[in-house]
Structure 1
Amino acid sequence: MEEEGKLIDGLIINFQTRDRRPRPGLFFIVSGPSGVGKNTLLNYALPRVDGIYYLPSITTRAMRSGETQGAPYFFVTKGDFEALIAAGAFLEWKKIHTGDYYGTHLPTITYALANGYDIITDMDVLGCMEVMERFPENVVSIFIAPPDREELRQRLAGREKDASVVAKRLERVEMEMGYMKKYRHVIVNDDLERAGGELVRILNSYSEHK
């Protein structure tokens, strides 16, 4: 099993020239509360669109069964990650309670946008606001909303048995929902086929305007 990754010419995505657009690249950012189904919708949509590259976060955590390099993360050693920090290679990064690092690779983003490649990732609302300020001409923001708060509470309760953890996540939901109006597109995830189809239509609407 592959444990760590090597950068491809300084990037974490192997871009193909056939997907290059005659315009600056677009950065699609999908946000929404925990448990709303962002990854499920991305997994539905990406095989149905052409020329949009998923931007994985870089992490130092171990690769799990069923994962591969770049899906869902780009895996590196802690030494390599800390070297990237020192080189200023992250748009943002964090170290979580397990001691593992997670970060968003800035050189891949800047290369894609400067060279006409479209990329997509999921990101929390605060991170999205920062990226919108940094790349205002390139970001296409998409917010995934739950059909209602009670259904989301049930989803979170199904994931986590600790009621205090569920309560904290629900508090964060209220904060995240407060940013919804700042997004260019909002999709209510009430049904996978319908919401996934809407995400596909949004992504294709930008690809059609090459």
Structure 2
Amino acid sequence: MILSSKLIVDFQVKDRKNRQGYFFVVSGPSGVGKNTLLNYALERVRGIYYLPSITTRPMRPGEAQGFPYFFVSKADFEAMITQGAFLEWKQIHSGDYYGTHLPTIVYALENGYDIITDMDVLGCVEVMERFPENVVPIFIAPPNMEELRQRLAGREKDTGVIARRLERVDMEMGYVDRYRHVIVNDDLERAGKELVRILEQYSQRE
């Protein structure tokens, strides 16, 4: 199934706003808690749609089509690249592809739907350049490097992987000033409430 023009989000008319949609982009170092905060906020804020990335990696236990990713074959992904279906895409060291679906973004923003996704800092820069009037960039920062190192060690046993992810942190933190909002994730409840407040600040506008 090639998704070059088909939407990957099931938008509901009741959530349509009488304005252009907002595109919330959440970035931050690996292990900082982006997905945890996203889940916290989306359980509490209505009318904002999660935009899953499209990937060729295998689906894991507990995952489903569309959450946390939309899963496709490599052949389909490469066909979509040729057809210009991605706002941005990358191929990681495992050989798997990840991409952000452009037709869904365009449809949402033009039709008054608010969407949110997590994206690395380089991808976020591309989004800000493409949709400067719609993007609300939000950076999730760790309280300190030692805390981030401990979080990574708690979920990843491969020390080489941990080291590579920590090497990226200085680069990622170098983009903080490009973000409109910065949340320090030192406490889930506090940081989650701050993210909810930011999302509601925009989504409740008509």
**Alignment TM-score > 0.5, same fold:** yes
| Match 2:112 to one of 107, 112, 116 | 116
| Match 1:28 to one of 24, 27, 30 | 24
| Match 1:102 to one of 98, 104, 121 | 98
Give the Cα–Cα distance (whole angstroms) in 2 for the partners of residues 89 and 30 of structure 1.
Answer: 21
Q: Which residue of 1 aligns with 2:144?
A: 148
1:74 aligns with 2:76: no
Amino acid of the structure 1 residue aligned with 2:25: I
CA drift at 1:9: 6.7
What is the number of equivalent residue pairs in this alignment?
A: 206
Residues 108 and 166 (structure 1), Cα distance of their counterparts in 2 relative to 1, 3 Å cut: same
TM-score under structure 2 normalisation? 0.94
CA drift at 1:165: 3.6
Task: Determine helix, strand or coil for the equivalent of 1:48.
Answer: coil
Contact 1:56 1:74 (8 Å CA) reproduced: yes
Contact 2:2 2:77 (8 Å CA) reproduced: no
Residues 7 and 90 (structure 1), Cα distance of their counterparts in 2 relative to 1, 3 Å cut: closer
Q: Which residue of 2 aligns with 1:135?
A: 131
Give the Cα–Cα distance (whole angstroms) in 1 for the partners of residues 172 and 30 of structure 2.
Answer: 9
Contact 1:156 1:166 (8 Å CA) reproduced: yes
Question: For 1:52-98, what per-residue CA distance to the aligned partner results, in whole angstroms no more than 9, with x for missing partners?
Answer: 00000011222111111110001112222122111110111122233
Contact 2:2 2:76 (8 Å CA) reproduced: no
Structure 1 residue runs without a partner (length 5+):
none
Q: CA RMSD in A?
A: 1.7
Contact 2:55 2:96 (8 Å CA) reproduced: yes
TM-score under structure 1 normalisation? 0.92
Question: For 1:71-126, what per-residue CA distance to the aligned partner results, in whole angstroms no more than 9, with x for missing partners?
Answer: 00011122221221111101111222333221110111111111111100000111
